[in-house]
Amino acid sequence: MEDKIQKIAEWIVGSRALVVFVGAGLSTESGIPDFRSPGGLWDKYDPEDFLFQNFLSSEAARQKYWQMATEMYESMKDAAPNAGHFAIAEIERLHKLDCLITQNIDGLHFKAGNSEKRVLELHGTAMHVTCLSCMKRYERGDIQERIAKGDKAPRCDTCGGLLKPATISFGQSMPEQETMEAYRRSQACDLFIVIGSSLVVQPASLMPVAAKERGARLAIINRDETACDYLADMIVNASAGPTMASVVEKVKMLLGSGQSSL
């Protein structure tokens, strides 16, 4: 495994356009549950109950949605970044990161130090709430205070529109601008590193394929097999945080010595 970590570090140092793609496997190392796994949130709730159209059409559905969303938020609001998050932020500080594409909604990359201009949140964020009518943005904590006081399905205090966490729900369109930009960056990169994703959720899972089709190297760091292992130039089946911490230490050593390897 040490040889693999060394080679990924060399690839990063030699890269002109690195895209990092992360999934739930990185967040679970910060204590945030993987909601799709056995015992997760979707074992307790039926995802069909939370279709976006239901949220739009029914007050009862909105109240049930906010009950579920509050439980989800409680599991992540005080979570801290782990070694993997800090490693990715360090790659940005070293001027080696073109962009970070994340399927996660917990905002931990920003807590670790990544800048907003480098992060594309494909599934939105649970840290803010948006009015679906006037698009006014609220801090999540402010809305949760209203819910704690008995407002079971809060509305916008400016226009009266429906308020919803700024995440992408089942049946809701992916954010067009972020998705298009993520594809563009994937196609333009020369190194694509997947961290903590099984690469089964579309359309995000197609991005490493797009990168490979344009000639990029593909490295996958994930504890289990992924849907794109057959395409990978390097696979490390290990925990994301410790692995990325080791990779970044070697990157810093290589940059310090002025060495790179293609």
What's the whole-number mean pLDDT along residues 58-75? 93
Q: Which residues pair with 236 in a beta bridge?
A: 221
The class of domain 2-32+81-123+173-257 in CATH terms is alpha beta
Reduced to 3 states, what is the DSSP secondary structure of residue 225?
A: coil
Q: Which residues pair with 100 in a beta bridge?
A: 20, 119
Q: Is 123 a catalytic residue?
A: yes
Where does the pLDDT of residue 37 fall: very low under 50, low under 70, confident under 90, or very high at 90 and above?
low
Burial 147-157 (b: 16+ CB within 10 A, else e): beeeeebbbbe
What's the whole-number mean pLDDT along residues 197-215? 91
**Is 38's pLDDT higher than 90?**
no
User: Which regions of the chain carry the CATH code 3.40.50.1220?
Assistant: 2-32+81-123+173-257
Q: Residue 261 has what pLDDT?
A: 41
CA distance 98 to 18: 5
* pLDDT digit string, tens, across residues 20-36: 999 999 999 999 987 66
* pLDDT digit string, tens, across residues 101-123: 999 999 999 999 999 999 999 99
User: Which regions of the chain carry the CATH code 3.30.1600.10?
Assistant: 41-75+127-167
Mean pLDDT of the chain: 92
Q: Residue 260 has what pLDDT?
A: 43
What's the whole-number mean pLDDT along residues 166-177? 90
In 3-state terms, the chain is what percent helix, strand and coil (to 5)? 45, 15, 35
Residue among 85, 95, 109, 123 flagged as catalytic: 123
* pLDDT digit string, tens, across residues 235-248: 999 999 999 999 99
* Type of residue numbered 121: E
**Is 64's pLDDT higher than 70?**
yes
Architecture in CATH of 41-75+127-167: 2-Layer Sandwich (3.30)
Lowest-confidence region among 2-11, 42-51, 101-110: 42-51
**Is 232's pLDDT higher than 60?**
yes
What's the whole-number mean pLDDT along residues 146-172? 96
Q: Residue 152 has what pLDDT?
A: 96
Task: Record the pTM.
Answer: 0.92
